[in-house]
A and B are shown apart, each in its own frame.
Chain A
Amino acid sequence: MTVLDRPTGGTRHQRRTPRSWLRGGGLSTLIFMLPLLVVFGVFSWFPIGRAVVMSVQTTNLVTAPEFVGLQNFRDVLADPLLWTAVKNTGYFALLALVFGYPLPLILAVLMSEVRRFKGLFSALAYLPVVVPPVVAVLLWKFFYDGSPTGVFNTILGWIHLGPYPWLQNATTAMPSLVLEATWAAAGGTVIIYLAALTSVAPELYDAAEVDGASVLGKIWHVTMPQLRGILLITFILQIIGTAQVFLEPFLFTGGGPANSTLTVLLLIYNYAFANSLGGDYGAATALSIMLAAVLAILSGLYFRVTRSWSTS
């Protein structure tokens, strides 16, 4: 047996027999590896494989799964709700980009110039991130009360605006979700930008001043190019994040009114779990795989960008 185990050209290394493996600490290494192998095996690698299999099966937990080829994908693509969901998710991502993307950058640039109480500024900016998301949504749901005595309508009433229906109206519902999501997430991005801003070499500003640059000129010609890498990363991360928005539409509006806030993730959830008669697990997995494929392209881009920027 030992003869068979020997690698054919093997004189360079110690021969690998079970006994030498044991003496070399192979078993204790395996013991240390065990938590990873079990947890990842059962709760990550196995479900990932299963997702691929399930997307080409009908699974209803009662009868044995049946192979149906690409039927799940065809069903999902033929669902008129899918295009509503894609459109809504795109709208959410676009609004979040227009309102939520520049805001942390502006805040961070202003905050980086603060001399005293810098900690107070960043703590205040970060505070919304610390509030549990469910609490934030439920609290804002109350703020969005459409009656004239609602919190936001009261404030806007002081300057003679409103009352607005906020969540109750198909056109204002989505912007309302974006507003809350921006509030909840901006602080985290501000901190990232603040860290990046400290690494901008002061000499660059000195040089720009010699060339007679104004403050805005310095921001545009020095700060922005220096932050280019991190700006691209947060851009891609935000797209990936907003493409998977779930909590806000689920808790604020449940997808309504008139499906105006139905997002792709909400649709996946509805396929799988909203039907009390049993979920369409095949369709849900098929749609999640299609979403993942789109996101994979984006994260591939993200990894390429981070790699090229970490080497420079």
Chain B
Amino acid sequence: MTIPSPVTPALVPFEVGPPDAAGPPGPGISTAARRRRPAKKPTTELGDRGIVSMADWRRARVRRAMRSLQAVLLGLLFVAGLGPILWLAKSAITPTQDTLRTPLSIFPHGIAWANLGTAWTRVHIDQYFFNTVIIAAGSWLVQLLVATTAGYALSVLRPRYGKAITGLVLGTLFVPSIVLLVPLYLTVLNPPLLNGSLLNTFWAVWLPAGASAFNVMLVKRFFDNLPREVFEAARVDGAGPFRLFWSVVLPMSRPIIGVVSVFAIIASWKDFLWPMLVLPNPALQPLSVRLPALQRFIELDVFLAALAISTIIPVVLFLVFQRMFLRGAGFGGAVKG
């Protein structure tokens, strides 16, 4: 049997049954086409009405006014949003004297590609970059582990003490992180159950990152909305709690894992105060902590190159996963503080 190209279903009028010419593709394909087609239509025709009506848009004067307003807006967004980043990109490969004397000249007197190399090797940006990646990866893993197991236990397994735990987790949402700063620092210095301090270990950053009530509640709420019938069916088929978690619940929760992952990595990349406190050893510090300290003893052009290097990854991640960012921003905004 041949796999039909994605174009075929769209060409088939959805009222008619299986296409007679194509032959092999059975009714399964045509139902897929039937489901796909009407979904597209309403968004293009009905939902597209903003503050200015369609009728007004058709008037030349309104259209011209709106177009020019939007062109100005686009220009402003370009300057404000992209401008500083472009400037940083340019200055990263510009000699110090040019940047100091004429910071806004578009064409510098020479291009100093060496800045990037110097920053990467001689200033050890590579090491701090690597630290940042390790810290982000570890925080991500811990957050994912805590959020998914806890969400599963609280939402699917539902022990009697689950309500109390949910309450305790929710309660921490009301406590601003600043209250935790000093006691958490002292806890890391001298953790209970453990001998020795977590200071100057990555665990000091990874583990507290896992205590995110927001993640737990987000995942729990997602699991609450998964169809219970699937769990029942899996149980009837003999799946234990571990199997149910690994083979049924986790594969079904890819979207929420994606959201939590993006938040976790971005938050870790941005974090400054906490890693600065618990990683006083410069060899372990991430970029965000090391950059302000570096400023004092490296040359400006190399410093700007270092800034550019630490901006690349988040910007590229954003451009690649744009949709997830912009959709997730709604959640993220609702949790800060």
Contacts and interface: CB of A to CB of B under 8 A. Distances in A.
A237 B180 CA distance: 19
B310 interface: yes
Contacts of A170: none
B291 A202 contact: no
Given A40-B169, A125-B77, A149-B100, A32 B149 contact: yes
A25 B241 contact: yes
Contacts of A206: 49, 53
B160 to A, nearest CB: 9
A121 B333 contact: no
Interface stretch (B13-21, B106-114, B251-259, B270-278): B270-278
Contacts of B318: 123, 126-127, 130
Interface string B275-287: 0010000000001
Interface string B174-186: 1110111111111
Contact of A237 (B78, B103, B273, B334): B334
Interface residues of B, number: 100
A229 to B, nearest CB: 12
A36 B216 contact: yes
B168 A126 contact: no
B210 A138 contact: no
Interface string B190-202: 0111000000000
Interface in B277-321: 277, 287-289, 291-292, 295, 300, 304, 307, 310-311, 314-315, 317-319
Interface stretch (A3-11, A79-87, A89-97, A150-158): A150-158
Contact of A155 (B104, B142, B182, B287): B104
A252 B56 CA distance: 48
B261 to A, nearest CB: 16
Contact of B175 (A48, A151, A192): A48
Interface in A124-167: 124-136, 138-140, 142-143, 149-151, 154-155
Contacts of A107: 73, 77
Given A219-B51, A291-B176, A113 B80 contact: no
A29 B176 CA distance: 30
Given A119-B322, A130-B314, A215-B51, A48 B157 contact: no
Contact of A32 (B104, B150, B181, B187): B150
A121 B51 contact: no
Nearest to A30: B159
A111 interface: yes
Contact of A42 (B104, B185, B191, B266): B191
B187 A47 contact: yes
Q: Per DSSP, are chain A's interface residues mostly helix, strand or loop, or mixed? A: helix
B157 A25 contact: yes
Interface in B114-162: 142, 145-146, 149-150, 152-154, 157, 159
A117 B71 CA distance: 11
A46 B172 CA distance: 11
A134 B241 contact: no
Nearest to B319: A123
A233 B50 CA distance: 23
B219 to A, nearest CB: 11
Interface of B: 46-47, 49-53, 57, 66, 69-70, 73-74, 77-78, 80-82, 84-85, 87-88, 100-104, 142, 145-146, 149-150, 152-154, 157, 159, 165, 168-169, 172, 174-176, 178-187, 189, 191-193, 207-208, 210-211, 213, 216, 240-242, 245, 266, 269-270, 272-273, 277, 287-289, 291-292, 295, 300, 304, 307, 310-311, 314-315, 317-319, 322, 325-326, 329-330, 332-334, 336-337
Of all A-B residue pairs in the complex, the 8 with the closest CB atoms, nearest first, are: A36-B150, A240-B337, A47-B183, A32-B153, A124-B81, A50-B183, A202-B49, A44-B211
Given A25-B157, A127-B315, A149-B102, 19 more contacts: A25-B240, A28-B240, A35-B146, A39-B142, A43-B208, A46-B183, A48-B183, A61-B186, A113-B66, A113-B70, A117-B74, A126-B81, A132-B310, A205-B53, A215-B51, A237-B333, A240-B337, A241-B337, A300-B174
27 contacts: A25-B241, A29-B157, A29-B241, A36-B165, A40-B146, A42-B207, A43-B207, A43-B208, A43-B210, A46-B187, A47-B184, A110-B70, A114-B70, A127-B315, A128-B84, A131-B84, A132-B270, A138-B291, A149-B100, A183-B80, A209-B53, A222-B51, A234-B333, A250-B273, A288-B181, A288-B182, A306-B334
